[in-house]
Amino acid sequence: MSEPRWLNETELRAWTGFLETSDLLHRMVEQQLREVGGVTTVQYDILHRLNESPEKRLCMTDLAERLVSSRSGITYQVAQLEKAGLLRREDAPDDERRVLAAITEKGRRVLETTAPGHVEAVRAGLLDSLTPDQVAQLAAIMDATRARLRDTVQLHPPRKARSR
């Protein structure tokens, strides 16, 4: 086992900066969404996915895949959103097992009233701190990293484990 290649000063700044920034950004956005729309980031994300889907509805598993969370987590949050009247649960017509989450008019209104401030928060927290060049650099960097991570990171353990 060879000596590990420790991080040099720049690498360390990139890494710790990334950690702290992502944490701060997340908190900032959470705060803004909470105040203006009364929803959490996860809930906003769910509503957003539903709204951008052509049918304005998605089944639970599809939702869980698009977001990062587990199926049981989606069940919980969809229940919260249903209680709040921001979405409706429907049985899928073709498959009795499936449950569809469909955004309601009220849910759409929450998105509409929240989105502008959300975008502003993203600008204030991230984009406005950067030059246009840096924004482009960041986009490229994230594309590269994301592509690699998607292949590497195993999100949920397979159901009936049978690796390879």
Binding residues (CB under 7 A) for DNA: these are 40, 42, 59-62, 68-80, 89, 92, 95-100, 156-157, 159-160
Instruction: Identify which range of 56-64, 87-95, 97-105, 122-130 contacts its own copies by CB under 8 A.
Output: 122-130
Provide the pairing of β-strand 87-91 with 57-59.
unpaired
Return the closest-CA partner of residue 49 out of 83, 21, 76, 86.
Answer: 86
Our finding on whether 79 is near its own copies (CB under 8 A) is no
* Residues 6 or more apart in contact with residue 49 via CB below 8 angstroms: 58, 63, 66, 67
Find which of DNA, its own copies, none residue 71 binds, CB within 5 to 8 Å per kind: DNA
Q: How many CB atoms lie within 10 A of CB 122?
A: 15
Residue 129 sits at φ, ψ, to 5 deg, of -80, -10
Could you say whether residue 35 binds its own copies (CB under 8 A)? no
Q: Which helix (H) or strand (E) holds 112?
A: helix 105-125
The answer to the question of residue 73 lying near its own copies (CB under 8 A) is no
68 binds its own copies (CB under 8 A): yes
Residue 55 CB, shortest distance to its own copies, in Å, is 22
Q: Which residues contact its own copies by CB under 8 A?
A: 1, 4-7, 10-11, 13-15, 17-18, 20-28, 31, 68, 115-116, 119-120, 122-130, 134-150, 152-155
